[in-house]
Amino acid sequence: MEHHRRTARPSMKDVAALAGVSYQTVSRVINHSPDVSVDTRNRVRQAIQQLGYRPSNSARALASSRSRIIGVIMGGDQFHGEVQTLQAIEAAARSRGLFVAVSMIRKAMCSQNDFNHLCDGFDELNVDAFIMMVPTDVLFTAACRAPVTRPRILLTATHGGTSISTGLSMIHDEAQRDRTAVVGIDQWGAMDRLLSMIAGYGHRTALYIAGPSQWRDATTRLEAWRELSAQYAISSNVVRCRSWQSDEAYAQMNHVLEYFGSSGAKLPTVIVTASDAQAIGAARALREHDIRIPQDVSLAGFDDIAVASDTFPPLTTIRPDYSQLGVAAMREALFLMGEGPEPGYPVSTYGVGQVEAKVVKRASLAGVSLGR
């Protein structure tokens, strides 16, 4: 008798028959229900692999009134941390049988209509939840005002021109406020650890190069610096930049060095910047003025970009856990969708659940006694 190769797509009932279970049990395994024994789960998975069965997303949507799609909006100009966060979101979603659709707003500023238009596109996909990376005040308020009815998870910093509580109050529907979560990086705690290290090395004078004021990360880092440097008895001056770019920090550092040179004042013993790119620009200016790092002045940045360990000397910096931020965002989405437990955080302030940022000590930071 001739055997014909199966050409029809295997169904859930085919999997159930091969595994010796009901198709409802197969459905529970596919949807990661905990109410299935390990032995049964393994039999179903073996049957799925043997048959080459692939769940139909559209069938799932019809059965559950859900699309199994998470809509992600990435806002900003540079996507160093956001890309790592997105990768973690996508991996966490895939592990739960969910799909991710992404839209990017490449400019840091956008109109409310622009933002609403993106949300309308996701509504047409019937997304189950929104994850919105909103690093600026404009994007944060646009995300809060967006007329969406699905759960929304906002990834942003704790401080800005618009407070978290003010932003959330822009969500006029109380039920929608209950379906909103805010997640971020513990930048305040990281700055505390960096300043503790700086003070421990004997530094008492510092220069802080701040980021652009419309960015909530820049505001959070600056406010943390001001409050905590005072607590550690470190006298500091602040230089503001309008961008995160190294070339602007380079120019600003040159102005600072010219001022100190003309006034005869002593340079601070440590320079801290709101981004690694700014630290690289500042280091260039210092080298061109024959100021050695760390013998004459120590230097630290923020973000731990890929080249931070390859600068000369390697840059001390703060490393936000962007991957864990993505995992936390997906846990919040699953919780608000009714598919997971409520997430917990090591730090939660101002209504923002926060994940860790570590200080990475490298050769650019040393004790004052080394050369001063």
Q: What does the pLDDT look like over 321-368, one tens digit per residue?
A: 999 999 999 999 999 999 999 999 999 999 999 999 999 999 999 999
Cα separations in angstroms, 97 against 85, 184, 187, 192, 323:
19, 25, 32, 39, 19
Give the residue, 76 or 355, on which the prediction is more confident. 355
Average pLDDT on 112-137 reads: 92
| The CATH number of domain 187-320+358-370, selected from 3.40.109.10, 3.40.980.10, 3.40.50.2300, 3.30.360.10 | 3.40.50.2300
Phi-psi region of 270 (alpha: psi -120 to 50; beta: other; left: phi over 0): beta
Which H/E stretch holds residue 73? strand 69-75
pLDDT, residue 229, reads 98
pLDDT, residue 371, reads 46
Q: Domain 67-185+322-355, what fold?
A: Rossmann fold (3.40.50)
Residue 79 has pLDDT above 90, yes or no: no
Residue 169 has pLDDT above 60, yes or no: yes
Q: Are 12 and 23 in contact (CB under 8 A)?
A: yes
Q: Where in the chain is the domain with CATH 3.40.50.2300?
A: 67-185+322-355, 187-320+358-370
Amino acid at 145: R
The chain-wide mean pLDDT, for the chain, equals: 90
Question: If you search the block for the tokens 């799909």, which residue do you land on?
Answer: 99
pLDDT grade for 15, boundaries at 50, 70 and 90: confident
User: Where is mean pLDDT largest: 20-24, 123-127, 339-343?
Assistant: 339-343
Give the residue, 13 or 240, on which the prediction is more confident. 240
Q: What are phi and psi of 117, to 5 degrees?
A: -65, -40
Say which range, 55-59, 227-231, 333-337, has the weakest mean pLDDT: 55-59
Beta strand 270-273 pairing with 298-300: parallel
Residue 114 has pLDDT above 80, yes or no: yes
Q: Are 298 and 203 in contact (CB under 8 A)?
A: yes
Buried b (16+ CB within 10 A) or exposed e, 49-88: eebebebeeeebeeeeebbbbbbbbbbbbbebbbebbbeb
Q: Where in the chain is the domain with CATH 1.10.260.40?
A: 12-55
Average pLDDT on 156-168 reads: 97
Percent of the chain clearing pLDDT 90 (strictly above): 70
Question: If you search the block for the tokens 């692939």, which residue do you land on?
Answer: 54
- 346/341 Cα distance (integer angstroms): 16
Residue 58 has pLDDT above 60, yes or no: no
343-348 long-range contacts, Cβ below 8 Å, gap at least 24?
A: 346/186, 347/186, 347/189
pLDDT, residue 82, reads 87
Residue 78 has pLDDT above 80, yes or no: no
pLDDT, residue 1, reads 37
Per CATH, domain 12-55 is 1.10.260.40: yes
Q: Which distant-in-sequence residues (6+ apart) come within 8 Å of 3 by Cβ?
A: none
Cα dihedral across residues 256, 257, 263, 266: positive or negative: positive
Give the residue, 219 or 34, on which the prediction is more confident. 219
Q: How many residues does the chain have?
A: 372
pTM of the model: 0.82
Question: If you search the block for the tokens 């910093």, which residue do you land on?
Answer: 157
- 241/302 Cα distance (integer angstroms): 15
pLDDT, residue 201, reads 97
Q: Within 13 Å, how many C-alpha atoms sit on residue 272's CB side?
A: 31
Which H/E stretch holds residue 324? helix 322-336
